[in-house]
Chains A and B, each alone.
Chain A
Amino acid sequence: MDQKLCIIAACTAALAATPAHAAPVSNSDGTARVRILEPLAIFKVDDLDFGTVVISNTQGGTVTMPSNGNPRSFSGGAEGVPGDPGNRAQFTVVGNPGQEIILTHSVPLTLTNAAGDDILVINMWLNGSPLRTLSPVDGREQVYLGGTLSLAADQPEGLYEASFTVTVDYR
């Protein structure tokens, strides 16, 4: 009679060991992402040229080159020589289509001629917001600059020049 009981106990134990099936594993997928942007480049198309200006010998004046493509305007004793009307500055920015950019630029204090005479720069400005979006089609943006110069009465003749820098960065 005793032997019969033992057999049943052994069977039960065997069943308990069965969980050789691995417990379910939780899987999760992640994504690795990288965004390669075309390098940003800026090219100068045109300098900021105020053209040729005549200034009275008794009255100073100003010359303004608009950034929107309109012709120059004058005040005081300054007049423009029609044969040399000048032009606004133009730069082309090229980069990733649709990407936002930020523009900054320096403003020279004066323009100077070879003899060392100075013309005061009142201001220089962009043709719109410094925050732009590159074209979604070709990744370009045209940037224009205008400015105003203050001319002294009897400003000495000559070609006056100064350099400025336009900087662009992805936003």
Chain B
Amino acid sequence: MSFLEISHLEKSFGPLRVVKDFNLSVEKGEFVSLLGPSGCGKTTVLRMVAGFETPDTGSIHIEGKDVVRLGPNARKIGMVFQAYALFPNLTVSQNVAFGLKVAGVGKAETADRVREMLSLIGLPDLGDRYPFQMSGGQQQRVALARALAVRPRVLLLDEPLSALDAKIRVSLRSQIREIQQRLGITTIFVTHDQEEALSMSDRIVVMNGGIAEQVGTPFDIYNKPTTKFVANFVGTLNTFSADVTDAAAGRVSVGGTPVQLPAAVEPAKGDRIGLAFRPEALHLGRAIGREVTLPAVIRAVNFHGSVIRIEVEAAGTNVALDTFNRADTPPPQVGDAAEVSFSARDVIVLEY
């Protein structure tokens, strides 16, 4: 059995089934993200692990013991909330020391641990401040220190970066990941931000409609989505519709151009299938290693600095592709005729 084992978890609020047969095994020290749109049940799963919601059926085992019947204060789980939830009447040090005091840890040890935690989050000199005297990012770091001070078995992060501005969000996410790896603490992170999930996690659980659609490493989730929802939800996706010419041989045709897929197409998928690409899989112009070329017309050019996102119309579909900016090559003009090329190896086949 894994360090944290969630089996057949179900939860309904009134007639609405929010979590349906949810299963997940998390190894010790692993960082797992629950990623999904609003209302997909990710926060409810997290709250059931924390003990704030009781599952209708199913079990949650931590270190081999079922904790479903335990109250949230008996589970030894640290939690960081979106709204920081620092106690406004306590200073930073007192906030961090709160859990230790409740646990009856001695004064000297508490003081040591508070000092250790504050230096861990890089705020060793702010112990005497009240939460309202700190920025959002600082408050969230204190909340992390407070959750970690009691040495919890599992750390739960409930969209901890959502309330922060973009720059702090990026710096704090690498800091959280670094602290998590340094302490080797098993962590579940809830987010609706795919960039956060992809950049921080060992594994991602993509949730939709109360079920786990796919569980995998960020690389697999992004490059080998197993369902249409995952393919669409994670990253940007371009889809060409293709006519199947020989299912067994994996031959299809995109706007009259033949494409040889690396594997056979299942006959159940019918005469038409979707061929999906990430923007980086499409190339403007011909290129070595990209054997399929389609004629295209430039429809829009968005300059992002180091990257230029170009929208083209090819095979009757508008698709987006990314190219790197080069100072000596100006971007193409809207309305220009062009070609896009891709490799059949980068295709994600979607059912229609």
- Are A and B physically bound partners? no
Residues of B whose CB lies within 8 Å of any CB of A are none
Residues of A whose CB lies within 8 Å of any CB of B are none
